Chains A and B, each alone.
Chain A
Amino acid sequence: MKHCDNYTLETLSCFTDKELPPEICEEISSHLVHCRECRKIIDDYTRISEGFRRKIQTSADSMDSGLLATGVSQRIKQLKTSRFKRWLEFFGGSKIVLQVASIAVIILSTVVYYQMQPGPIDEPSAIVTLVDGNASSVMIFETQEKHHTIIWYTETKVAGDNHG
Chain B
Amino acid sequence: MDKVLKFVVVLSVLCFSMISQTDAMAAGTVVSRVRVIHASSGPFQVDPRLRDLEPELRSVFRYTSYRLLNEQAMNLGQNQTGRVSIPGGRVLELTPAGVVNGRIKYRISILKNRSRVFGTEILLLNGSSLTIGGPAFQNGFLLFNISGLLE
A125 to B123, CA, bound (A): 8
CB distance B59 to A143 under 8 Å? yes
Complex CA–CA separation, A153 to B143 (angstroms): 10
Nearest A residue to B148, CB-CB: A126
Which size class do A's interface residues fall under? 35 or more
CB-defined contacts of A123 to chain B, threshold 8 Å: 125
Number of interface residues of B (CB under 8 A): 51
Give min CB distance, B126 to chain A, whole Å: 5
Query: What per-residue 1/0 map shows which CB atoms of A107-120 lie under 8 Å from chain B?
Result: 01100100111111
B27 interface contact, C-beta 8 A: no
Note all chain A residues with C-beta closer than 8 A to B60.
141, 143, 150
Complex: A112 Cα to B20 Cα, angstroms: 11
Interface residues of B (CB under 8 A from A): 2-3, 6-7, 10-11, 14-15, 18, 21-22, 25, 53, 55-57, 59-60, 88, 102-103, 105, 109-110, 112-113, 115-138, 149
Chain A residues packing against B (C-beta within 8 Å): 90-94, 97, 100-101, 104-105, 108-109, 112, 115-120, 123-135, 138, 141, 143-146, 148-156, 158, 163-164
